[in-house]
């Protein structure tokens, strides 16, 4: 760890000395100047206050931007259920799976450089997975029919799992027994999962999984940089994301919010006591850089990333991807057999929802009417396990970020935020 940190310190110091340009904070404007209503946008704040006043959430941060201009930015509530201090706009959140779109963007940078093809087998970069097997319904382990590709990784169709259902699924049980999140680094991670079976043949189904963590390892091996260093140099620093990292610096620890769960038995919000050294509970001495769920960030930092993607891969003169690449990433890449629900599962973590697909690192709305929530066809988005959410609407040129810390939230906050955002439009581009 000392060697890693020394290397990173040197790298970051050189960056500072060279005064590499970074994106500036998003400019603010009155909502009326971009076809929105200030009065109606206040309904977002009212919604947040209601959730906090009812004791359902400790605090909420919401952000709305249109046409590259910030029109709403509010922090409501407290830092935690047991911390009455007011929530601040620069507080740090576990963004969990909102790490995935960032990892996908990093991978596509290397794709643009010709470092890999989407059709390349993953084993070209991670030979540990060359002999991985598939577990059949009969309990047999069989060879992979068609090689697992980079496209499979980025679309969650590789056959991996997450281990969320250890009591009902033998593959998930194996994930739990292997303690994959206790591995030291991504190399060890690959070694451990190489002995675990796939849930299905690559390409046959959509299943939310560790595929993006494997993508982080591919980035390491192609770039020659540790995954955290690659993100810092190629995503975070250019976009001015100074508060996004795997390991929370000591001088920023006071801004790192506690996580929560809903105690149904006592009908109240409760604080999660994080213990241990696994990738999803340790943010102070990190060596396993989880591209699928390990990042910590602020609402403003994430808005910068999302705005860069809305703007075709560029923010304030800093380009991280080409416009064509972003458009390709935000298309639905799943075949109809998967999105129709006839095989596999819905991309919404087991919820059967129509009108929804998946691109390269993003969920994609294909039909708002079928989805049952107001928005625009072509929206791309994702959320995190602790209730964080973002979406990018390329039709209305809107970016929205919502931040809470509540695992497995039972509340319809994401839907409420959508309605409150779109009802504030006085001019639609659709």
pLDDT at 45 over 80: yes
Maximum CA extent, the chain: 62
- Same domain for 300 and 311, yes or no, is yes
Contact partners, residue 381, CB within 8 Å, separation at least 6 = 362, 363, 364, 365, 389, 390, 391, 392
Mean pLDDT of 327-331: 98
E strands in 67-176 = 69-80, 83-86, 93-94, 133-135, 141-143
pLDDT for 21: 72
pLDDT band at 201 (very low <50, low <70, confident <90, very high): very high
| CB-neighbour burial class of residue 285 (10 A; exposed 0-12, middle 13-18, buried 19+) | exposed
For the chain, give the mean pLDDT. 91
pLDDT at 344 over 50: no
Alpha-carbon distances of 34 from 222, 304, 393, rounded to whole Å: 42, 19, 14
- Same domain for 216 and 236, yes or no, is no
- Same domain for 252 and 314, yes or no, is yes
pLDDT in tens, 265-290: 999 999 998 876 666 678 999 999 99
Count Cβ atoms below 10 Å from residue 315 Cβ, excluding itself: 25
Q: Which of 176, 207, 223 is the last residue of a domain?
A: 223
Write out the two tokens for 397.
């040129």
Whether pTM exceeds 0.85: yes
- Same domain for 323 and 209, yes or no, is no
Instruction: Give the helix ranges, DSSP H, for 210-339.
Output: 211-223, 227-231, 237-239, 299-310, 323-329, 336-339
Q: Which of 170, 189, 223 is the last residue of a domain?
A: 223
pLDDT in tens, 168-180: 899 999 999 999 9
- Same domain for 210 and 231, yes or no, is no
pLDDT for 353: 66
Q: In this predicted structure, which of 187-196, 342-351, 417-426 has the lowest mean pLDDT?
A: 342-351
pLDDT for 104: 98
Q: Structurally, how many domains does the chain consist of?
A: 2
Instruction: Please check whether residue 409 is in contact with residue 387, taking contact to mean a CB–CB distance below 8 angstroms.
Output: yes
pLDDT at 341 over 90: no
How far apart (Å, rounded) are the C-alpha atoms in residues 19 and 305?
A: 21
Q: Per DSSP, what are the bridge partners of residue 64?
A: 72, 400
- Same domain for 372 and 321, yes or no, is yes
- Same domain for 256 and 152, yes or no, is no
How far apart (Å, rounded) are the C-alpha atoms in residues 329 and 362?
A: 7
- Same domain for 384 and 309, yes or no, is yes
pLDDT at 2 over 50: no
How far apart (Å, rounded) are the C-alpha atoms in residues 135 and 160?
A: 11
How far apart (Å, rounded) are the C-alpha atoms in residues 351 and 354?
A: 9
pLDDT for 11: 43
pLDDT in tens, 358-411: 999 999 999 999 989 999 999 999 999 999 999 999 999 999 999 999 999 999
pLDDT for 277: 61
pLDDT for 346: 53
CATH number, position 203: 3.40.710.10
- Same domain for 117 and 95, yes or no, is no
pLDDT band at 348 (very low <50, low <70, confident <90, very high): low
Q: Which of 172, 200, 223 is the last residue of a domain?
A: 223
Q: Per DSSP, what are the bridge partners of residue 143?
A: 133
Q: Could you list the residue range(s) of the whole structural domain that residue 50 is in?
A: 2-99+226-422
- Same domain for 65 and 23, yes or no, is yes
pLDDT at 333 over 70: yes
- Same domain for 40 and 62, yes or no, is yes
Whether residue 427 lies inside any domain: the answer is no
pLDDT in tens, 86-126: 999 999 999 999 999 999 999 999 999 999 999 999 999 99
The DSSP secondary-structure symbol of 198 reads B
The DSSP secondary-structure symbol of 177 reads H
Whether residue 429 lies inside any domain: the answer is no
**Residue 339: helix, strand or coil by DSSP?**
helix
pLDDT for 9: 41
pLDDT for 339: 60
């Amino acid at each position: 760890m000392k060697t890693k940190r020394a290397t990173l310190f040197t790298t970051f110091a050189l960056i500072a000395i060279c005064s590499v340009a970074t994106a500036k904070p998003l400019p603010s404007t009155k909502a009326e100047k971009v076809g929105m209503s200030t009065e109606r946008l206040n309904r977002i704040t009212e919604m947040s206050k209601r959730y906090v006043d009812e004791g359902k959430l400790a605090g909420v941060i919401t952000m709305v931007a249109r046409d590259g201009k910030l029109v709403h930015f509010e922090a409501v509530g407290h830092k935690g259920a047991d911390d009455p201090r007011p929530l601040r706009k620069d507080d740090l959140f576990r963004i969990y799976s909102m790490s995935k779109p960032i990892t996908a963007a990093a991978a596509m940078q290397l794709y643009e450089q010709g470092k890999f093809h989407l059709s390349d087998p993953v084993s070209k970069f991670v030979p540990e997975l060359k002999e991985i097997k598939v577990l059949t319904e009969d309990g047999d382990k069989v060879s992979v029919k068609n090689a697992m590709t980079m496209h499979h990784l980025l679309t969650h169709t590789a056959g991996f799992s997450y281990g969320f259902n250890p009591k009902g699924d033998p593959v998930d049980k194996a994930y739990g027994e292997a303690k994959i999140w206790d591995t030291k680094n991504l190399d060890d991670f690959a070694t451990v999962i190489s002995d675990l079976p796939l849930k299905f043949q690559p390409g046959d189904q959509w299943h939310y999984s560790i595929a993006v963590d494997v993508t982080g390892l591919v980035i390491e091996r192609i770039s020659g940089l540790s995954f955290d260093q690659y993100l810092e140099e190629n995503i975070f620093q250019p976009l001015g994301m100074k508060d996004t990292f795997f390991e929370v610096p000591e001088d920023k620890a006071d801004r790192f919010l506690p996580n929560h769960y809903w105690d149904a038995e006592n009908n109240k919000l409760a604080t999660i006591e994080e213990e241990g050294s696994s990738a999803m509970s340790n943010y102070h001495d990190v060596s396993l850089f989880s591209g699928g769920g390990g990042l910590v960030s602020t609402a403003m930092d994430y808005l910068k990333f999302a705005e860069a993607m809305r703007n075709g891969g560029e923010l304030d003169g800093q380009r991280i991807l080409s416009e064509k690449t972003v458009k390709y990433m935000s298309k639905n890449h799943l075949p109809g057999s998967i999105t129709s629900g006839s095989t596999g599962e819905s991309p919404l973590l087991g919820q059967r929802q129509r009108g929804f697909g998946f691109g390269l690192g993003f969920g994609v709305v294909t039909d708002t009417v079928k989805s049952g929530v107001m928005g625009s066809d072509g929206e791309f988005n994702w959320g995190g396990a602790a209730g964080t959410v973002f979406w990018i609407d390329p039709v209305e040129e809107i970016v929205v970020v919502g931040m809470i810390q509540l695992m497995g939230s039972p509340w319809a906050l994401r839907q409420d935020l959508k309605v409150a955002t779109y009802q504030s439009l006085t001019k639609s581009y659709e």
